Amino acid sequence: MSEDDERQQSPPSDLEFVSNKARNCNATGSGSGHPEFQSAYPDQVLENVLENVLHFLTSKRDRNAASLVCKSWYRVEALTRSELFIGNCYAVSPARATARFTRVRALQLKGKPRFADFNLMPPDWGAHFNPWALAMAKAYPWLEKVHLKRMTVTDDDLATLAELLLGFKELVLVCCDGFGTSGLAIFVNKCRQLKVLDLIESEVSDDETDWISCFPEGESQLESLIFDCVECHINFEALERLVANSPSLKKLRLNRYVSIGQLYRLMIRAPQLTHLGTGSFSPSEIAGQGDQEPDYVNAFAACKSLVCLSGFREIIPDYLPAIYPVCANLTSLNFSYANITAEQLKPIISKCHKLQVFWVLDSICDEGLQAVAATCKELRELRVFPVDPREDGDGPVSEVGLQAISEGCRKLQSILYFCQRMTNAAVIAMSKNCPDLVVFRLCIMGRHRADPVTGEPMDDGFGAIVMNCKKLTRLAVSGLLTDKAFDYIGQHGKLVRTLSVAFAGDSDMGLKYVLEGCPQLQKLEIRDSPFGDAALRSGLHHYYNMRFLWMSSCRLTPNGCQEIARAMPRLVVEVIRSADEEEMDDAVEILYMYRSLEGPRTDLPKFVTIL
């Protein structure tokens, strides 16, 4: 299919692109490593001007719009796009992407849908980086940056990146899997210009390879090294040498196998750090009774640029006072792996006046949240995770904590809150007190749980959120919800792009309200809700505008899904069974559908059928 046809399709393509501001200096396209642009067009001057201008275009939506103006603009925009963002790796093929965009320096790819994180999708579903790795290595030998989310990356892929991309600088893997320490070893060894290696919430298998010592000797350009999710021992002496050789290192997040004593040794070598993940934050060698412990307070005090602190993976709270010197400057604090009490939190949080991002465990209870509300007036993002992630576990935080936060943190933009009980009143209060909310994710862990005070469903609470929070783009609902809640969302959630629904609603009407009412909806993930084929049909007008729709354990039938597939040829409609089932029977267990320029993918596992 030619590029012209591509452009004429009315639904926007799933390719979203961003320009790299730093590329301004190479506006004429004659930077090092670039192939010279051979022009056959009479208006060369005009095109050069256009090229210069388009370099300033940064937003991917602006770029998409620019590419639709005319052929000339399309061509120049494609040439000047240096950052390629693909929200669904199956929406477009590597071949098509590399054909259109020839000067890409940075690639961002997303693979599996989010519900795969919660074991709702059988393993080996797909989202393999491999075809992309090979295509990039051929088409963009100057590629500098790759950012992947929820993709399967193999050791070979890492080797490909390192061996074939000579100027490679930045690798960020978020929620990825499929590789191990041996892949990392090859990667860090061959990437001589590496500046960033960020492994975030990824599964890294322990092949017992000492990858840290595979970094090349001598001075390194490393600016960021994040490996807090890597669950294996590391060679500390090699790490210490690496940190000592990395004068530009700003971000360092250690895994839980690094003790506090080792942390100390690293910190004194890198006082320039801005982002620090502390590792275990407990001693490994148990210090003898008389041994001198290093001056941890001093080490923290020396880090005058520290703004982001995380880690505390196996915290011994006695050591917490060590961080007092940095609290006043912190803008981000992640205690979400630290099982600490309100009393242990208070002396810290009372010093964190500049805090904007705070992640914490509910072990701090409502009382701890009240302390946060009292001090953190600049708070933009709050995430409260459960120590006991069970439906009927203890509930140390509740509507009391949420109310307090809403009253104290008026600038709140994003909240993720796990709890066992919540009232409509508290949610309504938050909707009024925090008008800047963009992300509201409330997870009442007991399914179908009503307002414990009134006995009512949680409809009014969520209704107030969509009514009062005019900037809301992301919403996750929970608790006992009727179709009314969805009516509210459809009526007022006009900017909502991502919606997560679980165990909610009464009938098809619920889903209809949302599909008919929310024009900006891009990502809809639903599980265990009574929505069926009729509801699915009501979204036909909108599915090409969405990145994906996920529905699991709902009331869909193969016929209903087939209907959608027939009506919309550019939609890939996947029906996924849990791995041990053989045939499709009357019910569709998982429906995952997404727009795509490529049609059915060729790497289907046997438990997936494309209709």
Partner 1 sequence: MEVNYENGLNLKATELRLGLPGSDEPEGQTTPRPNKRTSSEISSSGLTDDGNDDHQASAPPAKAQVVGWPPIRSYRKNCIQAKKNEVEGGTGRYVKVSVDGAAYLRKIDLHVYGSYPELLEALEKMFKLTIGAYSEREGYNGSEYAPTYEDKDGDWMLVGDVPWEMFISSCKRLRIMKGSEARGLGCV
Q: What is the DSSP string of 284-347?
A: SS---TTPPPP-HHHHHHH-TT--EEE--TT--GGGGGGGHHHHTT-SEEEETT----HHHHHH
Name which of 37 and 385 has its Cβ closer to partner 1. Answer: 385
CA–CA gap between residue 377 and residue 352 (Å, rounded) = 10
Give which of 321, 368, 366, 309 is closest to 340, Cα–Cα: 368
Question: Nearest approach, Cβ of 461 to partner 1 (angstroms)?
Answer: 18
Question: Nearest approach, Cβ of 139 to partner 1 (angstroms)?
Answer: 33
Give which of 437, 439, 492, 433 is closest to 467, Cα–Cα: 492
**Interactions with partner 1, residue window 64-93 (CB under 8 A):** none
* HSE-CB of 189 using CA atoms within 13 angstroms: 13
Among 45, 586, 602, 606, binds partner 1 (CB under 8 A): 586
Provide the greatest CA pair distance for the chain.
83
Under rule CB under 8 A, residue 288 binds partner 1: yes
Name which of 224 and 478 has its Cβ closer to partner 1. Answer: 478
Under rule CB under 8 A, residue 279 binds partner 1: no
Cβ atoms of residues 591 and 561 within 8 Å: yes
Under rule CB under 8 A, residue 385 binds partner 1: yes
Question: Nearest approach, Cβ of 578 to partner 1 (angstroms)?
Answer: 5
Partners of 357 in the β-ladder: 332, 381
Under rule CB under 8 A, residue 445 binds partner 1: yes
Residue 99: Cβ within 10 Å count: 15
**78-86, 131-139, 376-384, 386-394 -> range binding partner 1 (CB under 8 A):** 386-394
| Beta strand ranges found along 88-188 (DSSP E) | 106-110, 145-149, 170-174, 179-180
Under rule CB under 8 A, residue 509 binds partner 1: no
Among 91, 357, 373, 443, binds partner 1 (CB under 8 A): 443
* Cα 111 to the center of its chain, rounded Å: 11
Question: Site mask, partner 1, residues 189-208, x = CB under 8 A?
Answer: ------------x-x-----
Under rule CB under 8 A, residue 447 binds partner 1: yes
**3-11, 336-344, 366-374, 565-573 -> range binding partner 1 (CB under 8 A):** 336-344
CA–CA gap between residue 138 and residue 326 (Å, rounded) = 46
Question: Site mask, partner 1, residues 11-50, x = CB under 8 A?
Answer: ----------------------------------------
**Interactions with partner 1, residue window 224-263 (CB under 8 A):** 229
CA–CA gap between residue 589 and residue 332 (Å, rounded) = 40
Binding-residue total with partner 1 (CB under 8 A): 52
Question: Nearest approach, Cβ of 118 to partner 1 (angstroms)?
Answer: 3
Partners of 172 in the β-ladder: 147, 198
Among 289, 455, 602, 606, binds partner 1 (CB under 8 A): 289
What type of residue sits at position 52?
A: N
Under rule CB under 8 A, residue 506 binds partner 1: no
Among 54, 92, 120, 320, binds partner 1 (CB under 8 A): 120
Residue 16: both structure tokens together = 């979203």
Q: How many residues does this entry show for the chain?
A: 611
Among 552, 571, 574, 607, binds partner 1 (CB under 8 A): 552
φ, ψ of residue 428 in degrees (nearest 5): -60, -40
Under rule CB under 8 A, residue 604 binds partner 1: no
Q: Could you list the residues that contact partner 1 (CB under 8 A)?
A: 115, 117-120, 175, 201, 203, 229, 284-286, 288-289, 313-314, 316, 336-337, 339, 361, 385-392, 418, 443, 445, 447, 500, 502-503, 527-528, 530, 532, 552-555, 557, 578, 581, 585-587, 589-590
